[in-house]
């Protein structure tokens, strides 16, 4: 097998998550990293024994020995790095959102086709083993016709006016904070698990705290809170609360609520899918368990298992039964599917499994834009195709 040379651009919270999982995968080496903050890039490279710190993203794009780029930069840099990586003939794994607009993400999908690049996007939550299992069971008809999909994604790290992040700055984050960020994860889960596309959206999106105190000398790292004691007041336009009514293809209805002001909720993802013959539900705080609901018999709790899952999803349950996997392992599963797709592509073959590629990223941009249109005009909005 070829040994792929990988470079990671962006060494903040999510860049480090990528690095730690890349180090667990066979058949690749991390050639180097880059970050606007050189000191951070150096510290991270030293910590993980990564041989090279590139001067910037440009130097990575020019390096012909790099096969794959992981784009872990803030949102405003996604489009440019993703497109330039593909133009340079590299495979590309991007953090979400794929770009700042659906027009841009559509261009990226087309470019990937033209260049024959393998693409991936960070919708990691679908890689908990029992969520792969849920998708397979629903596809084989276990819960019948899907009627409703309901849930939420709640966090609390932006609760106080002194919590500030680049995610609240439209120059860096784009037109939305929370619907684009947490909403895209949840909508990806809903569509992946149910196998149904979201067709229409009615959204209520709010900036609950329109003025925040931004630290003068530092920025809060995601989930960390600020350490600075000097602040300046800044107006905030982007959302940290959102609710959506959803209409799925075939008629299923959905509801989704998201907030980063939900005290005590750190990464609370909940999804419930109700069908004509039964239901399934999952919560991130008990991520190894799938709840299976019945009308006429006792409900079940299915624990992830390499023995008991259906054939196609066993590979994602990597530990012996009774040993729960976690977020890092879900990322590993995602990268594993992505790198298998890279290997297959180079052998002239296509993967026979579904994994989140740039089309999945584009689909979420289309849902986001429908939500933002609905926020503006107060009406149902169709997701464009």
Residues that bind ligand SOE (CB under 6 A): 155, 181-182, 185, 222, 267
Kindly state the smallest distance separating residue 222's Cβ from ligand SOE, in Å: 4
Nearest CB to ligand SOE, comparing residues 177 and 381: 177
DSSP 16-78: HHHHHHHTTSTTEEEEEEE-SSHHHHHHHHHHHT-S-B-SSHHHHHH-TT--EEEE-S-GGGH
Nearest CB to ligand SOE, comparing residues 167 and 247: 167
Tell me the residue nearest to ligand SOE as measured from the CB. 222
Kindly state the smallest distance separating residue 268's Cβ from ligand SOE, in Å: 11
Kindly state the smallest distance separating residue 182's Cβ from ligand SOE, in Å: 6
Conformation bin of residue 198: beta by default, left when phi > 0, alpha when psi is -120 to 50: beta
* Phi, psi for 154 (deg, rounded to 5): -120, 140
Q: Specify whether the CB–CB gap between 242 and 177 falls below 8 A.
A: no
Kindly state the smallest distance separating residue 107's Cβ from ligand SOE, in Å: 23
Kindly state the smallest distance separating residue 59's Cβ from ligand SOE, in Å: 26
Nearest CB to ligand SOE, comparing residues 185 and 362: 185
* Phi, psi for 59 (deg, rounded to 5): -65, -35
Which tokens in the block code for residue 168? 């609240």
Nearest CB to ligand SOE, comparing residues 6 and 189: 189
Nearest CB to ligand SOE, comparing residues 148 and 162: 162
Nearest CB to ligand SOE, comparing residues 14 and 317: 14
Of 16, 18, 57, nearest in space to 36 by CA: 57
Of 64, 32, 68, nearest in space to 51 by CA: 32
Kindly state the smallest distance separating residue 87's Cβ from ligand SOE, in Å: 26
Buried b (16+ CB within 10 A) or exposed e, 62-88: ebeebbbbbbbbbbbbbbebbbbbbeb
Which tokens in the block code for residue 158? 């932006």
């Amino acid at each position: 097998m070829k040994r792929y040379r990988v470079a990671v651009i962006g060494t903040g919270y999510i860049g480090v998550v990528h690095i730690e999982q890349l180090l667990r995968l066979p058949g690749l080496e991390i050639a180097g990293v880059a970050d606007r903050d050189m000191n951070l890039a150096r510290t991270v490279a030293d910590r993980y024994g990564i041989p090279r710190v590139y001067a910037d993203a440009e130097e990575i794009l020019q390096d012909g020995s790099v096969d794959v780029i992981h784009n872990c930069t803030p949102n405003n840099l996604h489009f440019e790095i993703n497109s330039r990586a593909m133009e340079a003939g590299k495979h590309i794994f991007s953090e979400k959102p794929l770009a700042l607009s659906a027009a841009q993400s559509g261009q990226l999908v087309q470019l990937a086709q033209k260049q024959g690049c393998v693409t991936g996007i960070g919708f990691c939550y679908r890689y908990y083993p029992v969520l792969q299992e849920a998708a397979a069971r629903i596809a084989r008809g276990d819960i019948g016709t899907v009627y409703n999909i309901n849930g939420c994604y709640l966090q609390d790290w932006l609760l106080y006016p002194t919590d500030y992040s680049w995610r609240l700055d439209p120059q860096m984050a784009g037109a939305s904070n929370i619907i684009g960020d947490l909403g895209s994860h949840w909508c990806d889960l809903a569509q992946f698990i149910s196998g149904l596309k979201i067709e229409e959206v009615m959204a209520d999106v709010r900036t609950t705290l329109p003025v925040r105190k931004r630290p003068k000398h530092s920025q809060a790292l995601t989930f960390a809170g600020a350490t600075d004691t000097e602040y300046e007041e800044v107006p905030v336009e982007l959302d940290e609360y959102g609710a959506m009514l959803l209409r799925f293809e075939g008629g299923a209805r959905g509801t989704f609520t998201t907030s980063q002001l939900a005290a005590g909720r750190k990464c609370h993802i909940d999804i419930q899918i109700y069908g004509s013959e039964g239901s399934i539900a999952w919560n991130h705080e008990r991520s190894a368990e799938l709840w299976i609901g019945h009308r006429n018999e006792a409900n079940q709790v299915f624990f992830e298992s390499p023995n008991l899952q259906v054939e196609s999803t066993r590979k994602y349950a990597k530990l012996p039964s009774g040993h729960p996997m976690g977020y890092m392992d879900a990322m590993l599963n995602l990268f594993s599917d992505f790198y298998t797709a890279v290997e297959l592509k180079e052998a002239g073959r296509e993967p026979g499994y579904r994994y989140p590629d740039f089309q999945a990223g584009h689909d979420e941009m289309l849902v986001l834009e429908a939500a933002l249109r609905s926020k503006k005009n107060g009406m149902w909005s169709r997701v464009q195709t």
